[in-house]
Structure 1
């Protein structure tokens, strides 16, 4: 009887060990991304991750920019890859999220697009231009319009101005702030729209159609980043995720789908 019990204990221990090995034989990460071409980028990323790093990536797709950080902060996903440094800092300040950056990906230049004009010089009195309404991308869009000579902004407001910071608007342009995804849908109804690269394809454009776009050399605050919970930032599995996102395979696919994207690592 004693031998039977000992065998039983050993057997259970052996089964437990086998289960433990099989359960952790490969890492699995749920990664939040935005809809659109990023889905195709991640098909490449997932294949590379599995083949080279024994890492299984499961993507969770979001239709807007507000939910992925909430999902990450609450533990519904393990990481997200969709936002810039400035967007993350604004989200953390507003919501108190405990999130951290573990790597850089790309700079995706923001651009001004239109179905009605071929040049920003064609904007007339009270033409409507729509921009994203989240603080980070709103400020980014206003700075782009400033660079294009459409408006002037008060000195000293930094990288995140608001419409209240416009000091000169010689053409009396009407600037409307809307959700980034809505901007892509509404572009045909206004003179022009400032679009994030994620929504350019959804709006029926390619980056080359931009009337004006950011110079990546001056867009460092707008580097897209890999974000995780602060409590998870030292986990080695995210080194694998970073290596995948900084790979030649992902670079090639990204630049195919997002012409003008610049690696930021």
Structure 2
């Protein structure tokens, strides 16, 4: 069994030693201690550190990671699957951004100017912090939500702190759903707990408005039905199908999901 000191592990993972110590202080890591009190990372400790680092890269806060791990350790395959999906999304976004920049430069080279609308579209295409709304899903968004609904959503007070909180919460439930759907039991207590968290976030978005609920369902139904948009959705169709089964179980128990 291999073992290394914390400083070496931190360097290999590309993180600071302080971060590693913080993760340990938060109870996310429990490295082995030698008789002299020195901490060493064995293979299973390195795996645990990698898992936390990977979840951090996916946008999870330490609080979200603690909550996720408290419900069971996600398998390496599940985390790798989510990472692969996120990287594919980033690659698609980079390719769209490159295409938009090339088109804009060709237009400028031909002696034309970029008007305000063109600059706004270019900004949307090259905004690497926006992984959900892209040209493909934006068209779907506009096709499934009414102008009044879109205006209402844009006018909601939503701070950067709100965005971070909701983003971390969604990342947590999507990862948990991906883990549980592999197990394949939508009626399990773990699945029920996941469903309650999932639909709590849905209600926060829809405000339990019937029109918003219907538009949201149509957005995902159309998005996953169309091969062009299916790969641009915020999570895989397998997750969507599993959550629908969980919803059926919750309703059968008399619980409200909307």
Which has the larger helix fraction? Answer: 2
TM-score, normalised to structure 1, is 0.26
Return the structure number with greater relative CO, CA threshold 8 A, min gap 6.
Answer: 1
Which has the larger strand fraction? Answer: 1
Higher Rg: 1
